[in-house]
Amino acid sequence: MTVKFSIIAPIYNEKDNISELYRRISEVMNSTKASWELILIDDGSLDGSTDQITALAIEHKEVVPLIFARNFGHQIAVTAGLDNSRGEAVVVIDADLQDPPEVILDLIKKWEEGYEVVYAVRAERKGESWFKLVTASLFYRLIYRITNVKIPLDTGDFRLIDRKVVDVMNSMRERHRFLRGMASWVGFKQIGVNYVREPRFAGETKYPLKKMIAFAVTGITGFSYFPLQMATWIGFVAVLISLIAIPVVIIERLTGSQAFLGQATTLIAVLFFGGAQLISLGIIGEYIGRIYDEVKGRPLYVLRDKKYINDRK
């Protein structure tokens, strides 16, 4: 059977959101009169979400559960959903109801007008700390400046993607995934739709600062050489300064001046360049680690049970 719409929701410890998520999504999708499926990816939940997802799948034929063998991370969970989706259009949505399912209708309208990627732009974000708002805003602007794909500002993964684009994205098997970048990279006809991001329906964010930083690094390294090139620029600046400084110091000495004499100047220079070199080395290490991960060629995720996929009609 083919379905018109696949809705993908990654789930990591969201037990109090799942039934409400199904209720809101089924209401919206049934109003379209088209066939649809809801792919719920359990990303190694430990709070009983897994049982809820499987129970929901037994009760409702539209629900397709993908149960991971452990926590593989949000982007990988969405990837598994994309891999196993069958719809002519695929919608990626968060399971915590921060992305209101009703907005899907706006996304579908644009898709029917011929757009192949319709991304939802957060015109307003309710119920988030100022820290998250400021860091997120800075991050989107930084990545816009330093990467060579133009990833739309203030856009998360909430979007509708046409089958053509999903197939291209599924052929991109990179391990450190930044899906919103990948969706921009492919091209095609894209457009944004504004929406108001709601507070979480229940539970806490699964993106603490550490994960946010790791995600930002994945976005930057995946789409830019800028951090690597920084070493080159620092090098050029240092050479330039020394080319000016050397004759200045020689002249000062010849004229009997005591300027720049002593350990402090030497120590500061050594510390500065020692630090700059270590940071550059760390940045190179970050890229090499990612190359190593790619070379190992492990699967992106492990499913506990393929039964639900094999059994679908």
Contact set with Mg ion (CB under 5 A) = 94, 96, 98
Q: How many angstroms separate the CA atoms of 79 and 177, rounded? A: 9
Query: Residue 50 touches which of Mg ion, ligand UDP, none (CB < 5 to 8 A by kind)?
Result: none
Q: Least CB distance from residue 164 to ligand UDP, whole Å?
A: 25
Q: How far is the CB of 202 from Mg ion (least distance, A)?
A: 11
Q: By C-beta, is 203 or 235 nearer to Mg ion?
A: 203
With respect to ligand UDP, which residue has the nearer C-beta, 216 or 283?
A: 216
Q: Which residues bind ligand UDP (CB under 6 A)?
A: 10-12, 14, 43, 71, 73-74, 77, 94-96, 98, 205-207
16/286 with CB nearer ligand UDP:
16
**CB of 81 vs ligand UDP, minimal distance in Å:** 10
CB of 98 to ligand UDP, least distance (A): 5
- Closest CB to ligand UDP among residues 10, 227: 10
* CB of 72 vs Mg ion, minimal distance in Å: 18
Choice between 205 and 265, CB closer to Mg ion: 205
Q: Could you tell me which residues come within 8 angstroms of residue 244 by beta carbon, excluding any fewer than 6 positions away? A: none
Residue with the two structure tokens 């506990």: 304
224 interface partner picked from ligand UDP, Mg ion, none, CB below 5 to 8 A per type: none
